[in-house]
Structure 1
């Protein structure tokens, strides 16, 4: 079997695994790399050189600098100003989407969205605006903003590095700006003027009422040892709290009893499933002694535990522990809403497997998915990217726990302006790095890595925060797929695809071939990571340019722009996934705005590319 055929088999299997989504994309990419090594497509001694590639180093540095902007308070200053907009929807969309667009040009676009998402939700609540009208434009704005500079999005960094490997000169910091800024502004105008009519309105049950109003969450409360409620009937419970709180079910052991049909008395470790908000939960804790969260899972039981079975007639067996964990101290606890990120360690795992309380000090109160809450046992839920969680935890530790778990807080964010000295310092460090790049004093990877190092040395952020900022799965994806993309080129696979496109488009103007390349790359970026799309399409673009005997630059620019046009699906980009749960969107909602936006971007981008980078 020819090397090119083997590469196509590897890539077909890789793309199928990306679309299937059963395994995370970094694992799929690593499997593709190792498969290529075993088949002899990638030399074993060069298998892991991709992890030291300038594109990978640049992405790491940008992620660290982005976290530095957050910690210094720079973004909070901007967000505070954005919150002053009035109640007109068109102004809200313009300010929010425009702000994230600008931020995405100087920091990682997912990071920019993560910082502005709580601001958008707070704005929606304050002005009684359905979040669905603001969040999809916000996500798309973060993708558009990344087009404007070298560091705005990984595809730009990849394309720049590929150009350097082919021609000996990489794209500069602002080489993307003329085309990227024009496309971004055109996209912003389309979203605000036309797109706002295409965004689905998920009002009422899908977002504000069912998801963001905590009174509509399903809560599990436990009767602790020596709790006041032990021995009470449900009527006694309602009389004690003086509120008609609905008890949907009482769970004892493995048996569930419907609330309306339960006429017995409550026992220790009984689970009550109720619909309650923070006020009702406080009443149940204070007046009935109930605790948030289900019973401790079996594997978390303490050593020395002894179980005795009472054999009284007509009574069920009851467990009594010699040593038992003290009840949860709810003083100082707060409720927070958070969305599960694509790279979260919670994905496909349950509360029990995560040991959420023991290791992270968090209680899971409720889960919402696809715009509505899940009405199943909380301990049985396997989390997915985009799930919205209601969590309770200590005020001091909850932020760090969410960061470790890979969750993005959605509750109203208390803006912290940071230290003015650090704010100015972070801006000055970044400006010095950009100046070094513009003047060709240092390559992008060196300049930005130096800026990240200086930020750590002067205390803009801590070393721990810097490591937490690095998106491990994306780094593994890039490091693994770079050699695979090179194998597509060296095996002749890219030339074969380019020859096929040349044959089909031989009678067409080159501009139509560019449009075809744009559509292919755009479609690919909507089902796989945009960085992977850029890595795979760059060699094909170079072969096309060689076949047409044209300049390489317009073909690479087409790939750079189209790889970031992941507007059609919620899985094409992390930004799209992050807003799916909070906005109450369905899978099919994205193309309604995403398709006309993608076509508009292509119509604007190709003439601009040919104007700035002629054939």
Structure 2
């Protein structure tokens, strides 16, 4: 063992300690890896920093922005709702709909975003159809992870595998090169849950606390039909049908009077006031809707801007506050309190746990526990935060979505990106970078939202850790490990070698991320491929599959942790369900990979 290899092993050992212990953040660990590799002379400064301009890093950023576009335009939400409606009232039917649908979504998006999107949908489905949440959430999380095995772009581990193969001069992977194997794994996972789920999945109910967490989803507010609005003249029936997924109209006021029902074919007019219940995303977007605006903002917006001496567009924002149990505001109406005069804020919405609100917002009497949504400047919000009548003050959770019609534009952009990469019309990284740029230019999401969609910690970690694999090859450490291991498995069948690589990755990924596992094991797998006369692609993909499709414990995948508490799971539940599935998936990978990538 030469000095360079000793230095590399010291850096690798230190990195593993930091990654496993998480004494410091993963992205900071990656930066220390870059510094150590450059300072030790194992890599030049340019090589140590090459991960930031590498194709995996660019693809990862592009995929985050594309996924953000699908989310912000509401397309992902619509797909989630559609899946929920098709699931029916039987567990087997719900699983049959949920798992393939979620896997398909995860194949072209970030699996955590898909899991987070589907979690409230499935909790609602569980409550409304009396289906045990634990029998829905774990299959959903499994499907989200399995879906990432269908395309090279869906999981960072496959982006790293693709990069490692290209650096080694082996086969280049197209975005659908792993699709036959990934589809097989998705089918195995779905059949496994359908056949064995009734015995392996827990029968207990989901966590009750989660029901309340996801009930904060409809706010009461007032919507004004603006002058020369395109909505004016529309029959109420047509208007409600057009906006049924955005908000629900509970009353219709004209000249201060509530119009008698039935509304049916009565036309809207400029100046009409609609009392609506809207989801957080829609409430954040209502003042941007063409021809519609939040009534309080229209009524007091100019006055508020004059008081602050600033323009609302630049400085005003939505905040929400909870009325304290002993608040002086309890039992008083919003108009009596005069939020504008006292704090420089305008009340635009209200959430209440029990009861349905039909009166004008200004006439509603506040109760302890009410969540009041207000619009105003940052200084005014700070003044309100110091007032004892409010339990807490926090930014409003809703995010403004793009205008109606942008959802299908986002789908078209995503489809064009995939088609351009799949047909090799453009290099994969350029195709998806162009798609991400088009998402912003087309207005599917703002530049700020695009930056917010990027998981910076993961980007920095991948960009900083990629040179570790390069240093492993340059120092000869990868070949050293390969030379040690190759004689041990020299007489094994190809299937057993690939199964061993899958198993090694599956175990290591329980303590490291799938990306880190692939970065560490892929160079060794490549080094073993020539002596054993196995395709490098088969060995590396077996490693990547093992790092992504291992469900032995709940800590192996963040998606499992996301559903752990809502599903009221125990650690042993994942071991009982995931271990047999992981073994089956490993056997499938070991048998199919040599057929797809023969030596």
User: How does the TM-score come out when normalised to structure 2?
Assistant: 0.69
Q: Decide whether aligned partners of structure 1 residues 87 and 286 sit closer, same or farther in structure 2, where only a CA change above 3 A counts.
A: farther
Q: Decide whether aligned partners of structure 1 residues 333 and 440 sit closer, same or farther in structure 2, where only a CA change above 3 A counts.
A: same
Distance in 1 between residues matched to 2:155 and 2:350, nearest whole Å: 38
Deviation at 1:71, TM superposition (A): 2.0
RMSD: 3.4
Structure 2 match to 1:425: 409
Distance in 2 between residues matched to 1:287 and 1:142, nearest whole Å: 48
Question: Do 1:148 and 1:180's aligned partners in 2 also have CA atoms closer than 8 Å?
Answer: yes
Distance in 2 between residues matched to 1:41 and 1:358, nearest whole Å: 53
Structure 2 match to 1:608: 592
Structure 1 match to 2:310: none
Deviation at 1:431, TM superposition (A): 2.1
Deviation at 1:146, TM superposition (A): 0.4
Question: Do 1:333 and 1:393's aligned partners in 2 also have CA atoms closer than 8 Å?
Answer: no
Deviation at 1:560, TM superposition (A): 2.3
Deviation at 1:214, TM superposition (A): 6.8
Instruction: Tell me the SS of whatever aligns to 2:107.
Output: helix
Distance in 2 between residues matched to 1:362 and 1:572, nearest whole Å: 40
Distance in 1 between residues matched to 2:144 and 2:434, nearest whole Å: 26
Q: Decide whether aligned partners of structure 1 residues 113 and 290 sit closer, same or farther in structure 2, where only a CA change above 3 A counts.
A: same
Distance in 1 between residues matched to 2:516 and 2:381, nearest whole Å: 37
Q: Decide whether aligned partners of structure 1 residues 570 and 35 sit closer, same or farther in structure 2, where only a CA change above 3 A counts.
A: farther
Distance in 1 between residues matched to 2:385 and 2:109, nearest whole Å: 30
Distance in 2 between residues matched to 1:360 and 1:4, nearest whole Å: 60
Structure 1 match to 2:67: 66
Structure 2 match to 1:23: 24
Instruction: Tell me the SS of whatever aligns to 2:551.
Output: coil
Question: Do 1:162 and 1:170's aligned partners in 2 also have CA atoms closer than 8 Å?
Answer: no
Structure 2 match to 1:496: 480
Distance in 1 between residues matched to 2:137 and 2:384, nearest whole Å: 30
Q: Decide whether aligned partners of structure 1 residues 610 and 335 sit closer, same or farther in structure 2, where only a CA change above 3 A counts.
A: farther
Distance in 2 between residues matched to 1:456 and 1:442, nearest whole Å: 20
Question: Do 2:160 and 2:515's aligned partners in 1 also have CA atoms closer than 8 Å?
Answer: yes
Deviation at 1:510, TM superposition (A): 2.5
Structure 2 match to 1:5: 6
Q: Is residue 154 from structure 1 mapped to residue 156 from structure 2 by the alignment?
A: yes
Deviation at 1:46, TM superposition (A): 2.5
Distance in 2 between residues matched to 1:334 and 1:122, nearest whole Å: 19
Which residue of 511, 536, 539 maps to 2:523? 539
Structure 2 match to 1:484: 468
Distance in 2 between residues matched to 1:476 and 1:483, nearest whole Å: 12
Which residue of 553, 572, 591 maps to 1:569? 553
Structure 2 match to 1:54: 55
> Any idea what the Cα deviations from partners look like across 1:497-536, whole Å, max 9, x if unmatched?
2122212112322221111111001111121111111111
Deviation at 1:478, TM superposition (A): 0.4
Distance in 2 between residues matched to 1:360 and 1:135, nearest whole Å: 42
> Any idea what the Cα deviations from partners look like across 1:265-318, whole Å, max 9, x if unmatched?
xxxxxxxxxxxxxxxx98945799599xxxxxxxxxxxxxxxxxxxxxxxxxxx
Q: Decide whether aligned partners of structure 1 residues 290 and 165 sit closer, same or farther in structure 2, where only a CA change above 3 A counts.
A: farther
Can you give the 5+ residue segments of structure 2 that lack an aligned partner in the other structure?
Answer: 215-321, 333-341, 354-377
Question: Do 2:496 and 2:590's aligned partners in 1 also have CA atoms closer than 8 Å?
Answer: no
**Map 1:388-407 → 2, pairs under 5 A:** 397-400=396-399
> Any idea what the Cα deviations from partners look like across 1:86-105, whole Å, max 9, x if unmatched?
22112222222222111011
Question: Do 1:83 and 1:123's aligned partners in 2 also have CA atoms closer than 8 Å?
Answer: yes
Deviation at 1:554, TM superposition (A): 1.0
Distance in 2 between residues matched to 1:22 and 1:134, nearest whole Å: 34
Q: Is residue 508 from structure 1 mapped to residue 507 from structure 2 by the alignment?
A: no
| Count of aligned residue pairs for this structure pair | 454
Question: Do 2:207 and 2:565's aligned partners in 1 also have CA atoms closer than 8 Å?
Answer: no
Deviation at 1:420, TM superposition (A): 5.3
Which residue of 429, 436, 439 maps to 1:445? 429
**Map 1:192-271 → 2, pairs under 5 A:** 192-203=194-205, 207-213=206-212
Which residue of 144, 147, 150 maps to 1:145? 147
Can you give the 5+ residue segments of structure 1 that lack an aligned partner in the other structure?
Answer: 216-280, 292-324, 337-354, 364-378, 380-390, 404-415
Deviation at 1:427, TM superposition (A): 2.0
Distance in 2 between residues matched to 1:2 and 1:100, nearest whole Å: 49
Distance in 2 between residues matched to 1:539 and 1:606, nearest whole Å: 19
Deviation at 1:141, TM superposition (A): 0.8
